[in-house]
Amino acid sequence: MSAAKAVISVHFGQAGIQVGQSLWELYAEEHGLGRLGVEKKKQQKHELREVFFDENCDGRFHPRLLYIDLEPSVIDFVQSVSNYNPTSLVIGQEDAANNYARGYHCTPKWFTELCDDGIRHWMERSDGIQGMMFAHSLCGGTGGGFASMYIKRLQDFFPNVMKFGFQLYPSPQISSTVVEPFNALSAINQLSDTIDVAAILDNESVIKINQRLFPTETITHRYMNAVISQFIGGVTSPLRFDGKLNVDIREFQTNLVPFSRLHYMVIGHAPWFSACVQRPDNTSIRTITSDTFNHDGWSVTCNPEYGKYIASSLNYRGIIPGHAINTALAGVRKRFDVEFVDWSPTGFKIGIHSEPPKIPAGCKIEIGSQSCTMLANHTALRYVYRRIAHRFDSMFAKQAFLHWYQGCGMENDEFIEAREYLMQLDGDYWDAQKVSISDDEED
């Protein structure tokens, strides 16, 4: 394993850090590490443990990550139940109060410099970095505002380092704060030129998956974060385990982003099991592959029938013969709701590795010996941005709540610019869907 393959993970705000806590429990379980970073089993040849973990001189493995929050309560709790390198924790003294402008414009310089020190620490611990991964909600002040500012800063310092974001978007029916549309719209605009690939997650989709798995239980954040960690763990598995058809972080961008603006992705995963719901008898590769394309198991609320696939990456885990995947994909191509744009008919990038999926102790989600995770660029995502724009327009027309943003140095022109970006994004997806190759051009 070359140190040049290292990935730095950065989690911003309450949502990003809580997702990170669940995600790194999953990583530790899959790589045979205990809570204190001690090996529970020897590293296998196919494991690329050092991509996300750093081994100290005492033989302990620490996550190569930063937890960043403008207020201390969440990180203090995480530190009380987990063992992280103190360099990985960047704690402020006053939160951003769900205000994008407060996180973006009013963060003290000393806090930003602490974040720089954390990034510098992990850079110095590696001969090279292949990429950075970010997990944060766009709906709040820290995850939306400060994260947008700091990722832009990282782009200035490290323009050639691949940047991959797992971003929590506001949900159509579920909202934790009134001003989510202002925060999300501003963050999407600011991150448009600094993130190379952005995987979208929303709480409504995650809750619906949990309701199917646990119909009689109250869905808590721990349930939701367990589902999100399965999404992210499936996407990152090709980076953490060697396989017959492997994928590195740069290949996601190469295969899934046809135009720089259209870098937003949906994640699909299958199978989903729980002890509360009887497992289906048929869990063949064909069934798993087909279920991955069913939008009720996606990370975001959108209907594939309203658009077309531009490209997709399918990452399989477990002992899976190649011919079974070819047969499964042939069946997928015949589905009416799986349609690729005319100018990108191939559509599939495949990754295979034999390491089966696992779950951390205490997680009620159950798994099989095989799984498939899809990362797809789909034109139906334009409806996600239409929903955000519609909610924004309703409040912006009344100038509601804007004085809180103006008081932190944000001008109305910034909102108007962000709104225009969503219009352009909607148009770009529509153009990508409707463009066809003429017979003359094929000749």
In 3-state terms, what secondary structure has residue 31? coil
**338 φ, ψ (degrees, to nearest 5):** -120, 90
The torsion angle over the Cα atoms of residues 302, 305, 307 and 308, rounded to 10 degrees, is: 120
H or E segment and range at residue 17: helix 13-30
How far is it, in rounded angstroms, from Cα 39 to Cα 37? 7
Per-position pLDDT tens, the chain of length 443 = 344 489 999 999 999 999 999 999 999 999 988 876 777 777 776 678 889 999 887 788 889 999 999 999 999 888 877 767 788 999 998 889 999 999 999 999 999 999 999 999 999 988 788 899 999 999 999 999 999 999 999 999 999 999 999 999 988 777 778 999 999 999 999 999 999 999 999 988 999 999 999 988 888 888 999 999 999 999 999 999 887 655 678 889 999 999 999 999 999 999 998 877 777 656 789 999 999 999 999 999 999 999 999 999 999 999 888 889 999 999 998 898 899 999 887 778 898 988 889 888 778 888 888 999 999 999 999 999 999 999 999 999 999 999 999 999 999 999 999 999 999 999 999 999 986 544 444 43
| Per-residue DSSP letter, 349 | E
How far is it, in rounded angstroms, from Cα 399 to Cα 417? 16
Q: What is the pLDDT of residue 89?
A: 94
How far is it, in rounded angstroms, from Cα 175 to Cα 173? 7
Q: What is the pLDDT of residue 1?
A: 38
The torsion angle over the Cα atoms of residues 94, 96, 97 and 99, rounded to 10 degrees, is: 160
Query: Residue 399 burial by CB count (10 A; 0-12/13-18/19+): exposed, middle or buried?
Result: exposed
Rg (CA), the chain: 21
Task: With CA atoms as reference, report the closest residue to 180 among 100, 102, 101.
Answer: 100
Q: Mention every residue, 6+ apart, whose C-beta is less than 8 A from residue 350.
A: 245, 313, 314, 316, 325
How far is it, in rounded angstroms, from Cα 62 to Cα 84? 7
Cα distances (angstroms) measured from residue 433 to each of 169, 332, 370? 23, 19, 33
Q: What is the pLDDT of residue 127?
A: 79
401 within 8 A of 182, measured Cβ to Cβ: yes
Q: Mention every residue, 6+ apart, whose C-beta is less than 8 A from residue 193.
A: 155
The partner residues of 201 in beta bridges, in order of sequence, read 168
How far is it, in rounded angstroms, from Cα 31 to Cα 422? 40
**69 φ, ψ (degrees, to nearest 5):** -150, 145
Q: What is the pLDDT of residue 244?
A: 65
How far is it, in rounded angstroms, from Cα 394 to Cα 397? 6
Catalytic (active site) residue 441 = no
DSSP calls for 150-206:
HHHHHHHH-TTSEEEEEEEEPPSS--S-TTHHHHHHHHHHHHTTT-SEEEEEEHHHH
Dihedral over Cα of 235, 240, 246, 247: its sign: positive
Question: Residues 55, 251, 339, 366: which is the catalytic one?
Answer: 251
CA 341 to the chain's CA centroid: 24
Q: What is the pLDDT of residue 442?
A: 43
All domains of the chain in start order, with CATH: 3-383 (3.40.50.1440), 384-436 (1.10.287.600)
Q: What is the pLDDT of residue 282?
A: 60
199 within 8 A of 299, measured Cβ to Cβ: yes
Task: With CA atoms as reference, report the closest residue to 297 among 270, 316, 273.
Answer: 270
State both tokens at 201: 């997650």
171 within 8 A of 301, measured Cβ to Cβ: yes
